[in-house]
Amino acid sequence: MAQPIALLSVYDKTDLIVLAQGLQKAGVRLLGSGGTAKKIRDAGIPIEDVSDITKAPEMLGGRVKTLHPAVHGGILARSIASDKQDLEAQGISPISIVVCNLYPFEATISQPNCTLANAVEEIDIGGVTLLRAAAKNHERVSILSNPVDYAGFLKAYTEGQGDVGQGFRSKLALKAFEQTAKYDEAISGYFREQYASAELSADKLAGSVQRMALRYGANPHQKPAQAYVTEGELPFKVLSGSPGYINLLDALNSYALVKELQEALNLPAAASFKHVSPAGAAVGVELDETEKKVYGVDDLKEPLTLLASAYARARGADRMSSFGDFIALSAPCDLATARIISREVSDGIIAPGYSDEALDVLKKKKAGKYCVLEIDPSYTPPAIETKQVYGIHLQQKRNDCKIGPELFQNIVTQNKDLSSAAVTDLIVATLALKYTQSNSVAYAFHGAIVGIGAGQQSRIHCTRLAGGKADLWWLRHHPRVLALPFKKGVKRAEKANAIDLYVSGEVLEGGEKAQWEGLFEGTVEPLTSGEKKEWATKLDGVACSSDAFFPFPDNVHRAKKSGVKYLAAPSGSVMDEECIKAADEHGIVFAHTSLRLFHH
């Protein structure tokens, strides 16, 4: 039986001598490259140079050492007759153990004075090739890529009389493949930064933009931060301002929502996002005169387009939550929409395009620092998405389910009169839930979200929260609210806050009360509980959707209090029948869907 051969070529020489001694004691013939062979030889352990079998010296300053058929033929040869014949014909001996680790590329590029030339020289070629070749042929070859495995390998090799077993070889092969993958990722990431980053000047940009540096992550202390793709190009570009990490979370989630809304309903759509959940979302349904006043666009000089109407509804549903929002539009931003945005406190906008007039308006916002992103409307994200939590990678198929009228065909109540307008509202509510932190419940009316309860652990709390917001939204339509005598010069945000305090009945005291009263001409009498109750009875035809089943009928009863006539939720609760009975009690149309929409 031929003497087994081990090839050693390492940068990290931790425990190298111990390993070499163990292999030599076990009767293994040692081959080494460059400094590896020298270190072993200096320790008095017999070892041959790789050049002894390649008959070729190291060259190009050490760039070429092990790249030779005598090496890789010996590693890649299988235990089959034809491969053995090839080796014999070429005078090549099989190699059964490869010990290799790589140049410290990541450590090199982390140095503040690292140059491009320094980085290039730390890209290991021969080492990666050895790792991949040995790992590929792990049915026969053992690949040791980390010194922590040396002791265990020697023990198994000795006990197995030269055979560590297929399980051990498979474990070592996986580790080698993971090492090369991580190494390649570090290299591509470095060159993405050098050649394809958005902040590069035109003469340094080698092609499409694949990366964008961010000021910081979710919080200022979380640095560095970036946004990037690993193939193709970033599907958006910055026209003004500078997006942050949370801006992009809001932008990309909100654009996905409005794109789906337009595809589902063939109407332009808008969304107002805060902290990765919609504060509001709507499609382009014309506003009546009262709605124009409620949404604060009755004084707009430009005629309201359907897109502008969509954003007025999305922003106006919950003005308190929308303060400082990130906006998404499904269609190119027009002047009327830009005019509305220019008057609101907002962090940024994403849209598939902008008219020249609209872009000019938006670029003036926040002294030129307003974030304006233009996204490629033809972009389709990959089918598989991955996120990392506490160092663990989680992967799943992207939630690409389609939401349309067919989802609401299974009506389980006595009342089955589902109008086309109600279907529109159910689609708006359900699609909003698809992009809302769970648990979530949404109320919609006239093509717009009017209340959303996001991120609650309890379903009933979602329903109450969303219903409470819908109630306040409806109270803002009250004639006495629309006639509040604000002093001249009161800002829009101040008005929104004052109206919210008024309709919610918040008890004010001291300086807060004096400040609130100072916004008005004369005394403002509160809405009585009787007035609120009477006004609440005037709201009817609201649609409500839940991202998972209703566990108890209390959700149905609460929804009815906010004018809900149409309800949609997945089935599956042991209390489904009780929820249906509650819906029948109120004459609600209840559709059981087959789709859970948790989002995290």
Which string of b and e fits 539-556 if b means at least 16 CB within 10 Å?
A: beebbbbbbbbbbebbbb
Q: What is the sign of the dihedral through the CA atoms of 540, 543, 545 and 550?
A: positive
Q: Can you read off the two tokens belonging to residue 206?
A: 């080698």
Question: Using CA atoms, how far apart are residues 36 and 19, in angstroms rounded to an integer?
Answer: 12
**CB of 45 closer than 8 Å to CB of 25:** no
Closest CA to 41 of 61, 21, 64, 63: 21
Facing residues of 334 across strands?
none
Full DSSP string of 541-574: -EEEEESS--SSTHHHHHHHHTTEEEEEEE---T
**CB of 499 closer than 8 Å to CB of 595:** no
Q: Cis omega (within 30 of 0) on the bond before 381?
A: no
**CB of 590 closer than 8 Å to CB of 570:** no
Residue 344, sorted as left (phi over 0), alpha (psi -120 to 50) or beta, turns out to be beta
Provide the greatest CA pair distance for the chain.
106
Question: Using CA atoms, how far apart are residues 550 and 552, in angstroms rounded to an integer?
Answer: 6
- Residues annotated as catalytic are 136, 275
Cα atoms in the 13 Å half-sphere on the side-chain side of 453: 28
Q: Give the helix/strand (H/E) hosting 351.
A: strand 346-351
**CB of 36 closer than 8 Å to CB of 8:** yes
* Full 3-state SS string of 24-41: HHCCCEEEECHHHHHHHH
Question: Using CA atoms, how far apart are residues 428 and 269, in angstroms rounded to an integer?
Answer: 10
Distance of CA 67 to the CA centre of its chain: 41
Task: With both helix axes pointing from N to C terminus, report the angle between 166-195 and 150-159 in degrees, rounded to the nearest 10.
Answer: 150
The amino acid sitting at 128 is: V
Which string of b and e fits 62-101 if b means at least 16 CB within 10 Å?
A: eeebbebebbbbbbbbeeeeebeeebeeeebbbbbbbbbb
**CB of 198 closer than 8 Å to CB of 206:** no
Q: Which residue has the tokens 């800002």?
A: 491
Give the helix ranges, DSSP H, for 371-478: 420-434, 459-475
